[in-house]
Structures are given as structure tokens and as C-alpha cells.
Amino acid sequence: MSDYRLELRNVSKSFGEVQSLRNVNFQVGQNEVVGLLGDNGAGKSTLIKIITGYHRPDSGELFFNGEKVENLTVPKARALGVETVYQERALAEQQSLWRNIFIGRELRTRLGFLDVKKMREETNRLMLESMGFTSAAVSPDSIIGTFSGGEKQGVAIVRALYFEAELIILDEPTMGLALKETHKLLDFVRQIKKAGKSAIFIDHNVFHVYEVADRVVVLDRGSVAGEFMTKDITLNDLMHKMYLVAQTGSLEEPVEEMIGDEAE
Ligand SMILES: Nc1ncnc2c1ncn2[C@@H]1O[C@H](COP(=O)(O)OP(=O)(O)OP(=O)(O)O)[C@@H](O)[C@H]1O
Ligand SMILES: [Mg+2]
């Protein structure tokens, strides 16, 4: 098996005058959580949309498990195991928890009828084993609209894992979440790792990214400015690097200006 679940080589993408991505090389290992950091407009969402088949790159190559994939489409990406967890959007608010888990992928009896009993049972098991919903207030029949933002995303992650997603993408999942919800969400991201799958985790908050990512990739105005294994860098150093990128567009420490005789 390839070392990489996903690899992008020299990917570029422009929208009219704006070059959103410039010769981007990006990899996600098997069972690796990659954090994607970068300022507004750095190209993070564009990168994700290329991986999910929503945008076609202008140039460059995509590989899944070492195999080159041409003309990636949204259904093709999904078939390759890419699942995106969107805030709010992914779930049917008026429907029950069990229906949301199995929406579009319903379990059926041998005769082809909906196997409601089985779907309720499976949901109950997932609730206890994966979602940490032990409260008596939550049941497979609970309506999703009553769940908090973090819980909803937890449901979406558990659903993706249940259906064997290989690469789960989270684009700013903590946005708008309260502190406690955020911790819960980060726990769900850790579950992706435990389940042996991979993830791309985008967040403006470097603390969140540092907590769950194995590796951090910093994008700056469409280019990869640098990448770090989180085990090899302290949070303080990472924050300093982010500061440098924001100030100078580079990870290099600025050279002290020469003074005195040597300056002409
Ligand atoms: N469909 C589009 N049409 C035109 N320009 C686009 C489109 N999508 C993205 N862009 C431009 O590409 C650049 C990168 O945008 P992108 O959404 O990828 O950034 P981002 O890193 O996700 O930013 P944010 O942190 O604000 O979500 C921006 O300048 C944006 O305006
Ligand atoms: Mg974005």
C-alpha cells in the first residue's frame, strides 16, 4: 500500500485573476490527521474542494493510495472514501438521529424493506460506543434539530466512520462552537485517528489544530509556506511561525539589518 492515502503534486487553481493555489504539494498519510492552517483567503477551502472533486485543478496531479486519479468528481471522490463534515449542512434537522445516520444508505431486509429495527439498534450502539451520548434524554428517535452544533458534527463524523470513510475532511468545524462543544468535537477527531482512518482538519485556531493533528501544513496566499510534525515543534514555536508567516509571508526569521561600517 502507498504511504499516502492522498497526494497532490504541483496543483494550481485560479479563479479569473486570483490564483488560489500555486504549485501545491500536499500529502495525507494512511492514518494521519493533517492540520491545515492559513489566513483568510490562503486557499484552504479551495484545496479541499479539489480533493472532494468539486473543483478541477488547472494543473497538477492527484493520487489516491498511490494511484493517479484523473477528472475527479464529487461522486468519484466519495467512492474513494472521501467524506466532508460540514457544519450544520450535512444533517436533516427535522429527522431523527437514526434516520440521519442512515440517510441515503438505509439498511434493508432481505426482501428489500427498510430495516428500521436494525437501524435503530445500530444507532443505539453507535450512541453508546462512539458518540458518548449516555444521557437518557437522547435516543435513536431524538430529532437532530434539538442537538447542539458539536453534537451534530459528532453525528456526522460517526456516520462517516460507520460507512468506512477513509479520509474525513473538516473545514472549520469549531467555528461558532462553545468551549465544551469544541472539546467534544476534538474528541471526535481523535476517534478518526483511533479508527485507523485519515483526516484533514482546518481551523483558524492553532491551539485546536495542534491538539489533534499529527502534522501541520501552513498555506499562505496559495502556496505551502511550511509543514511541521506536531511532535517536533512546541505550540509556542508553531505560534511564532504562524506569526512570521502573517508578518512576512515567510517562515524565515528576518535577517537583522546590518549597521555600522559594513553597511554601504
Ligand atoms: N469560486 C470562486 N470564485 C472566485 N474566487 C474564489 C472562488 N473560491 C475561492 N476564491 C478565491 O480564492 C482565494 C482562496 O480562497 P479560499 O476560500 O480557498 O480561502 P480559505 O483559506 O479557505 O479562506 P477562509 O479562511 O476565509 O475560509 C480567495 O482569494 C478567494 O476569494
Ligand atoms: Mg475556507
Starting from the CA of residue 43, give the closest ligand: 1
- 52 CA to middle of ligand 2, Å? 14
- 119 CA to middle of ligand 2, Å? 34
pLDDT at 196: 92
Atom in ligand 1 nearest the alpha carbon of residue 172: 27
Report the nearest-CA residue for atom 18 of ligand 1. 43
Report the nearest-CA residue for atom 8 of ligand 1. 46
Starting from the CA of residue 47, give the closest ligand: 1
For the segment 95-112, what is each residue's pLDDT rounded down to a tens digit? 999 999 998 889 999 999
Q: Which amino acid is at 183?
A: H
Strands 18-29 and 4-15: antiparallel
- 171 CA to middle of ligand 2, Å? 7
For the segment 232-264, what is each residue's pLDDT rounded down to a tens digit? 999 999 999 988 888 887 777 777 665 555 544
26 backbone dihedrals φ, ψ, rounded to 5°: -150, 135
For the segment 197-211, what is each residue's pLDDT rounded down to a tens digit? 999 999 989 999 999
Strand ranges (E), 70-183: 82-85, 167-171
Give me the helices (H) in 103-255, please.
Answer: 116-126, 149-162, 179-194, 206-212, 235-248
Reading the block at residue 44, the C-alpha cell is: 484552504
Could you give the CA distance from residue 122 to residue 171 in angstroms, rounded to a whole number? 28
Residue 192: how many other CB atoms lie within 10 Å = 24
- Ligand 1 site-directed mutation target among 17, 26, 37, 45, most atoms within 8 Å of CB: 45
Residue 60: how many other CB atoms lie within 10 Å = 17
Query: Which of 170, 233, 229, 228 has its CA nearest to residue 197?
Result: 170
Atom in ligand 1 nearest the alpha carbon of residue 47: 18
Q: Which amino acid is at 98?
A: W
- 4 CA to middle of ligand 1, Å? 26
Q: Which residue has the cell 435503530?
A: 120
pLDDT at 232: 96
Higher pLDDT pick, 210 / 156: 210
> 4-93+164-262 in CATH: which number?
3.40.50.300
pLDDT at 102: 93
Task: Evaluate if pTM is beyond 0.85.
Answer: yes
Q: How far apart are the first and last CA of the chain?
A: 58
Residue 2, CB-side half-sphere exposure with 13 Å CA sphere: 13
pLDDT at 56: 96
Who lines ligand 1 at CB under 6 A?
A: 15, 18, 20, 38, 40-46
Reported as a pLDDT band with limits 50, 70 and 90, residue 89 is low
Q: Which residues surround ligand 2, an ion (CB under 5 A)?
A: 44-45
The number of residues making up the chain comes to 264
Secondary element (H or E) of residue 157: helix 149-162
What mean pLDDT do residues 106-123 have?
95
Domain parsing of the chain, residue ranges: 4-93+164-262
